[in-house]
Structure formats: C-alpha cells, structure tokens
Chains A and B, each alone.
Chain A
Amino acid sequence: MGPKNIFIAIVAVIAIGTGAWFSSRLLLPPPALQTATVLPAPGELPEFSLLDHNGQAIGRDVFDGHWSLVFFGFTRCPDICPLTLQVLSNANMQLADKGQKPLPRIVLVSVDPERDTPEIMQQYVAYFGDDILGVTGELEELRKLTRGLGIFFEKAVLDGDNYSINHSAVVLVINPDGRLHALFGAPHLAENYVHDLPLIMARR
C-alpha cells in the first residue's frame, strides 16, 4: 500500500467513525431523570392571596416568569426544614458553578402562618440565600394553595401550647407559566437536583 492509499484509508476510518458517533448521539434516548417526576401535563395553580416575606400581597402570578422550587415548612422546625432549604440552596450553588442559567428560585411556604409572620420569614429565608421567597398569610388562603397542590399539613401538639407541624416533605417545581411541572420526593439530596433540574428546565 502506497502513502496515498494509507492516507485515503485514514480519512475513511475517521469519516466512518465520526458518522457512527453522530448517529449514535441522535439515536440515544435523552438522559433519564434521577429522582424527579415530571407531570404528564403541567397543572394549573389555584387562586390564593398570601403575603411575601416583605408583607406584600401575592397571588399565583408570583410564580410567573421563572422556575420555582417550592417547599412547605415552618421556621420552628429544627431538623427537616433547615435541612431541606440547605439542600436546595447547595444545589443552586452547584448549578451556578456549572453555568446553569437561569437558576430556579427557592420558595418556602409556611404551614405555620399563626407564628410565622412576614418579619420572621424575612429573617429566616435570608439565612439560606439571597433570593429565597418566604410566603405566609391567612390560614384559609394557605389552605386554598395547599389543597390545590395536594400538600398535607396538620398541627401535632407537643405539650401545653407548644406544637409541631406534620407536613408533606415534597419539593414542587413550578414552571415559568406558573404551572406545577414536576416534583421531587423526600429525602432530598443536592446531587439529585443538580442532575435533574437542568434536564427538566431544558426539555420544556
């Protein structure tokens, strides 16, 4: 085989290899989600009137225009709630490091509106990040939102006047159209969010 033939052979191998690589990319199924469940059809949110952590009235249009990660908890929850907010905050930091844009906004909806005033929510959410939205307000209005989203919560008396609150531990993903798009079940791990969120946000 002369040098010319060798050259042709190398070009042919490269061409076939490149073609095979591209076609395999095209035929491969999209990467699977690790833990999140995407709803077959994004669900409409119920109407509600609550307060943000600045005391401003908000309704369901507060979710319009950006991706949100919504968790239901309360500030006097010592373990699960700070743990979950820390996970979501860490996930966002890791996503930012990977160049993910836009980042979802973390939202904490209080299921203890009796004790969680907007002032308390403001101090609390600021601890976990700069752009976290705290939501509280009237119990009846809160119930409109939780009922519409399938979120459960109930008081659990500890002793005397003291109570804790049992609550759904799920994290809801709301899309920029203000519709329920996906959910992450507990227990929550930052790595699952870092893996799944870019896929969820890109596929839409």
Chain B
Amino acid sequence: MRFVLTVILTAMLSACLAERAPLVATDIVVPKPRPGTQMTAGYLTLRNNTTQTITITQVSSPEFESVEMHESVLEDGVARMRPLRDLTIRAGQSVQLEPGGKHLMLTRPVGEIEATTLEFYNSEAVMLTVNVTLTD
C-alpha cells in the first residue's frame, strides 16, 4: 500500500514538475539516419507554459555536427525547404514540428548512434534539454 502511494505521489509530483517547466517537449521522434545518408529530421511538439513568448534561436546536439530549424513548404507543386531563423512559441501555446512542415534537420552524426540529446536555446541560455532514442 505504501509502495502504491509512493508511486502515485511520485507520478503526481513529476507531472506537476513537468507542468511547471517553462518549455516542455512531447511526441519526440528522430529517425536513425537512413542508410547512405548523414542526416535525419527531428519532430516534436513544444509547449510554452509561461505567460511570455519564448523564442528558440538555436538547437544543438553533441551527437550531430549541426542542427538546423527548417520548414518544408509546398508551393505550386514544388517542395521547398526554408531555413528558420528562430521558432516562436506564444504564451500558453504549442508549436508542432511535424513531417511535411517545420522540422529539425540533424546532419553528420558522430557515428552509429542510438540516442541523442537536443538542446534548445533562446538568445541567452539553454531553455530545454531532451534525451531521445532514435527510431528505426
């Protein structure tokens, strides 16, 4: 019984902490780079729990030489990839990075990697660090 209570309380506590974090990432998907390529994409939902706009100006990963924010757009039947200078998430809102839309482009992994860490920066400091297991 005590064990069950501890589990429930821990779950509630971590839920509260997650809720209070200013920026929360969910639905994170980073496929392993496809054979023959040195790159992959990153998809996730970012939620801003604060009362102010959050602007992500840079994303980095120790396991990839570069991480860029991009957006795929379809114009007159032509697929284009636009670099995004920053990513704005309004107070209390979420932004989705999803296939066919905004996404991260991760290039040149350090080797055969199974997992990675993504660091999201605003103009001053790291806002959020997430650990991701790469999918097949």
Contacts and interface: CB of A to CB of B under 8 A. Distances in A.
A166 B80 contact: yes
A79 B77 contact: no
Nearest to B75: A166
A124 B35 CA distance: 5
Interface of A: 75-80, 82-83, 119-124, 126-127, 152, 156, 158, 164, 166-170, 185-187
B135 interface: no
B94 to A, nearest CB: 20
Interface of B: 31, 34-41, 68, 70, 72, 74, 77-81, 83, 99-100, 103, 105-106
Q: Which of A79, A122, A166, A186 has the most CB of B within 10 A?
A: A79
A78 B107 CA distance: 9
A80 B72 contact: yes
A127 B40 CA distance: 14
A122 B37 CA distance: 11
23 contacts: A75-B37, A76-B37, A76-B38, A77-B81, A78-B40, A78-B70, A79-B81, A79-B103, A80-B72, A80-B79, A80-B100, A82-B31, A83-B100, A123-B35, A124-B34, A124-B36, A127-B36, A158-B68, A158-B83, A166-B79, A169-B79, A186-B79, A187-B100
A35 B36 CA distance: 32
Q: Which 4 A-B pairs have the closest CB atoms?
A: A123-B36, A123-B35, A78-B41, A169-B79
